[in-house]
Chains A and B, each alone.
Chain A
Amino acid sequence: MISRRDILKKTALGFGSIALTSLLEEQALAEKPLEPKTPHLVPRAKRVIFLFMKGGPSQVDTFEYKPQLQRDDGKELPFAKPKVTFAPTGHLLASPWKFTRHGQCGHYVSELFPQVAKHVDDICFLHGLHGTNPAHGGASLKLHTGADNFVRPSMGAWISYGLGTENANLPAFVTICPTLGHGGVNNWGGAFLPADYAGTPISNASVPAKHARMHHITNPQWTLAEQRLQLDFLKQLNREQVGNIIHSDLESRIHSFELAFRMQTSMPEIQEIGDESETTHKLYGLDNPVTEDFGRQCLLARRFCERGVRFVQVTHSDGKVQWDQHSDLRHGHAEKASEVDQPIAGLLEDLKTRGLLNDTLVVWSGEFGRTPTVEGSNNDGRDHNPWGFTMWLAGGGVRGGTSHGATDEYGFYARQGKVHIHDFHATLLYLLGIDHKKLTYRHAGRDFRLTDVFGNVVHDIIT
């Protein structure tokens, strides 16, 4: 059977047409939008695992130690609060948790993260992060897409657009149990980018990770052998029906069914974790009901990465706004931390053992942090804080055992080494070998970027 490509090739050669040859090349690109692409710069990371802590974990209770806050508990904040806040807050509230030094670098970590604390020498803490939006939805969209009042492509979509996938049988961007709230699909969507680049969700946050599956990945009615019969017959029909109409779409359609068929085995195979050793299960906390759900997500993230997926997002969220402790911080944060501490430490260790941490960038962040000032009628909560918070990075070309930037003495505003969300995006792309100013997509007559007209790469943190 002669394929459309063959016909095109023949006619192209026969007529020696330049237009047609370039058309051929264009179409070849369009047919394989996820083909691996050469980055602009030398990449330090090949892939990203983003651990999203939905709700906004408090920086002053986890990774940024503020001795003066501990001393001045109950006093007034000696400088002005932002003009617009999400909720009113009162006096300073010391952290109920003790901080101790860890690792060679001696970074302070609170007792909420005893396991992650063991890996501080692989971690680079960004204490001067800041965003613009003090509400969950806006902040989450800002973090994921760089924009909070328009629908724009998510960072994972930009990365799949920029780099393609290393495994033709898998999507380039997978998001495990993402939340539908606060921006929902837009947090992993492709907006105006071609559909190929949008994130592939594995269920959503309302489904336990154990039962989370990609949409339509299995057939309740036909066996694979039966589907093979169907697809073979479909191929035959498509070839015969083509007639005189030559179009790349028709050929791509045939390929897309074949890829879909292969995904039916490649995707579930990743989710069947029976082949992992007992040690690995334990490492990720799968043996403990508290850590089982998030641990499974982290393990899946590693398995996707191993197989060539570029960007895997893991979301710590279920039916609640996980880290959002406007009240009862002591109980809430302790519970949330206990769910993720072991799995995250396990992931870091596992990646390191397998030699994957060198070129895998792990990002840990909420959509914002929390105020050092108190909120709630019981004086036991903290409000949203996009003005200064902590994000950390590990592996993939960042300098472990370091910290960059700081908030003021109480942890309210980013003061030194400020890194805006746009700067984080620029840095993320840089680590992957992408110049954030060059990765553009023309839509509605304008060249769009993940960083819009902003973004400075934080060179200080890069190896």
Chain B
Amino acid sequence: MVPTKMRPTLCRYGPAMIYRLAIACLILLTAHPALSGEDVEHWAFQPVERPPLPEVNNKAWIKNPIDFFILARLENADLQPAPPAATGDLQRRLHDDLIGLLPGPNDEFVSPQITIHQLMAKPQYGERWARHWLDVVRYADSNGLDENAAYANAWRYRDYVVQSFNSDKPYDRFLLEQIAGDLLTARDDAQKHENLIATGFLSLGPKVLAEPDKTKMEMDIIDEQIDTLGRALLGITLGCARCHDHKFDPVPTADYYALAGIFKSTTTMDSLKTIAKWHENSLATPEENRLKQNHDALISAQQQVIATFIKKSNQQLLVEQKLKELPPQPEEKYPKAARDELAGLQETLKRLQADIPKLPFAMGVVDGKVTDLPIFVRGNYETPGELQRRHFPRALTTGRVQPIGDNVSGRLELARWIASEQNPLTARVMVNRVWRWHFGRGLVATTDNFGKLGAEPSHPELLDWLTSWFIENSWSIKKLNGLILNSATYQMSGQASLAAMERDPNNQLLSRAPLRRIEAEPLRDSLLQISNLLDPKRGGYVWTFPNFELVFNHTSEDATTYVSNRRSIYLPVIRNHVYNLFELFDFPDPSTVTGHRNSSTIAPQGLFLMNSPFVLRTTAALATRLMNEESVDRDQRLERLYALVYQRTPSERESKNGLAFVDRFSQVHNGKDGDRDSSAAWQALCQVLVSSNEFLYLR
């Protein structure tokens, strides 16, 4: 019997668990009057325990443990899972999920297992999955909010995320680096730099850089860090506790300021003076530093030479021309030879100055002066209350916790506390995110809120089973991807039976594959891919904008262009003015943590597909690609088009209709006696195909 109750109750946990909980309640109740027993009873705050696999009837359907949990619930509702997806649909889905591109017309599909394995080994996997993470950590290349200054070094963090996904860095390690990379010991310079870059996570947020109240600015930046940390990594809204005890979750204000102390003891900003400047860590190797020092020495030496030369020449001028004092521009009065020599010296200096080696820097943090903060009553720093020793939220802390020492910020301890299998939230939240990125909806629909106001898990046992499996499998995202994608659950078709329509109308039980619209990046990248325009280059700085400079302040001219044919993840993300294509197709607001992107259907998307220069450019290139293929007749050309866009052959009816469209369009476009097979008409057809539901949706 499968429990149908959505909310897990105490009785599902063993006696040991109940005992632990009772103790925890007691401790909390005595230590913190703000917390009630009910607070800590909330399902998400319970330790993760691996539940047994439920009993099912239709054992033949099962491919892996995930399926037990899904099927049990379906059978309980007297439903059967949808039949397996058509091979083409599944192949398309896997490509979109793992690399964000279309299958090539020649890509062989031997088995799902092999395809999954092959796709995860491609470098494009990291480009696809890093973007998910960048949504969560509100990645952007500019500050946004009031003074939109360029984060010209943010890309290093982006590339770090791509590499981390490609190398399948264990998720716990990944978090350690992002919260406290600067405090980890590194085996070499390369790892040290990687760790420093990772802390960009804490610095990438939007900041009110012109805030005149500097104490408020500092506390706002800390608040943004705590809020992001809470929602991105733990799925709780810690930020609420800045002004009052959290109304719903067990986070009293005291806990907030105990956490804030950790960030107050961390240096995120170098200067708060308007316009404030964030801290960047040097990534220069000793060799690069030496080169820079040498170069600087060369410059000052040359300046010395010039100064000496001028001094000497001025002396000569006074003596030779018998002057009492120097004229206003003495250099102009020098003899020609001296003037030429000076010009030569200055030219050399100019060349040296233009050629200063640029040292690499990365946004990030380091430890600052260790400070405890008092509670600021109602969030106002002018009404300080009791001093709070730096520590972690008490209600979420089970087991033994290493206390924070007097001489450290506590950030490393915080990182260890978060990236720990003891932490009931960290792994659960991430497993749920990964599920969301595969199915379009999390087992917990509110991916960034596991608190009391968040949604209840639709399959609580499955979530816990996956979480403990994930931890046992070294927090490997790729293994988790593989497990989910190899399940019969994932490989169902989207076809709904009438019974499923009735008893699982919203597909909460997963009686079929969810229909998903492709996201902004796969849409753009696929169009570039089929039109043969995609630039496969990986990583690096694509945007060219000087660091710290305002991307468009006071003026509304945005100099950023998006004409590059690089993959979408490499395009700049400009807060306050996100690239139009992205914005239209539900790219998240890059100032907030987003684990669940919307999927909207709005008329401006239609206008984009009908009229945008991007779609016209790519469909024109696609038509040219088709027209340029030699010795191909019209039927074959249509087959080629279908293979590229839909990865299938057209039916006879589709061929007939498609070619009839080309004829009709040619007639209207070129006149009655014009070309009946023009490139323009083929482009018009390409445009229709890439605007169709079959292209825009994953079945």
Contact = CB atoms under 8 A, between A and B. Distances in A.
A253 to B, nearest CB: 5
B555 A84 contact: no
B270 to A, nearest CB: 20
Given A181-B553, A237-B694, A261 B606 contact: yes
Nearest to B494: A245
Nearest to A259: B603
Contact of B146 (A136, A220, A237): A136
Q: Which of B146, B449, B558 has the most C-beta atoms of chain A within 10 angstroms of its own C-beta?
A: B146
B212 interface: yes
A221 interface: yes
Contact of B576 (A136, A183, A257): A183
A85 B554 contact: no
Contact of B693 (A84, A178, A241): A241
Contact of A444 (B448, B506, B589, B693): B448
Interface residues of A, number: 88
B557 A137 contact: no
Contacts of A17: 502
Interface stretch (A72-80, A194-202, A428-436): A194-202
Contacts of A1: none
Interface stretch (B278-286, B466-474, B591-599): B591-599
A334 to B, nearest CB: 20
A185 interface: yes
A137 B208 contact: yes
A252 interface: yes
A221 B664 CA distance: 17
Nearest to B616: A221
B46 interface: no
Given A234-B691, A237-B688, A249-B599, A181 B552 contact: yes
Nearest to B214: A84
Interface stretch (A103-111, A121-129, A225-233): A225-233
Nearest to A187: B576
Contacts of B575: 184
Contacts of A28: none
Interface in A118-168: 133-138, 140-141, 148-151
Interface string B571-613: 0000111101001101001011000001111111111111111
B13 interface: no
B689 interface: yes
Nearest to B665: A229
B557 A11 contact: no
Given A189-B589, A319-B555, A446 B693 contact: no
B266 interface: no
Interface in A333-355: none
A218 interface: yes
A321 B550 CA distance: 14
A187 B385 CA distance: 36
A182 interface: yes
B498 interface: yes
Contacts of B517: 249
Contact of A445 (B446, B495, B684): B446
B305 interface: no
Contacts of B208: 135, 137-138, 148-149
B696 interface: yes
A226 B669 contact: yes
A446 B237 contact: yes
Nearest to A267: B607
B668 interface: yes
B544 interface: no
A453 B582 CA distance: 32
B691 A257 contact: yes
Given A181-B555, A189-B589, A226 B210 contact: no
Contacts of A185: 576-578, 583
A185 B573 CA distance: 13
B496 interface: yes
B384 interface: no
Contact of A180 (B577, B603, B609): B577
Contact of B558 (A180, A257, A261): A180
Contacts of A222: 669, 684
Contacts of A19: 502-503, 505
Contact of A194 (B146, B515, B600): B600
A257 to B, nearest CB: 4
Nearest to B507: A247
Nearest to B211: A135
A148 B452 CA distance: 27
A205 B611 contact: no
B620 to A, nearest CB: 8
Contact of B612 (A205, A216, A252): A216
Interface string B200-216: 00000010101111001
Interface in A257-287: 257, 259-261, 263-264
Contacts of A191: 589, 592
A102 B516 CA distance: 61
Given A226-B669, A245-B515, A238 B693 contact: yes
A41 interface: no
Contacts of B689: 237
A445 B664 contact: no
Interface in B126-155: 144-148
Contact of A196 (B602, B687, B697): B602
Given A20-B501, A183-B146, A240-B653, 17 more contacts: A8-B501, A84-B212, A151-B206, A151-B592, A180-B558, A206-B555, A215-B604, A225-B668, A229-B664, A230-B665, A230-B687, A234-B692, A241-B693, A241-B694, A244-B496, A249-B515, A253-B693
Interface of B: 144-148, 206, 208, 210-213, 216, 220, 223-224, 231, 237, 248, 446, 448-449, 451-455, 494-496, 498, 501-503, 505-506, 515, 517, 552-558, 575-578, 580, 583-584, 586, 589, 591-592, 598-613, 616, 653-654, 657, 661, 664-665, 668-669, 680, 684-685, 687-689, 691-694, 696-697, 699
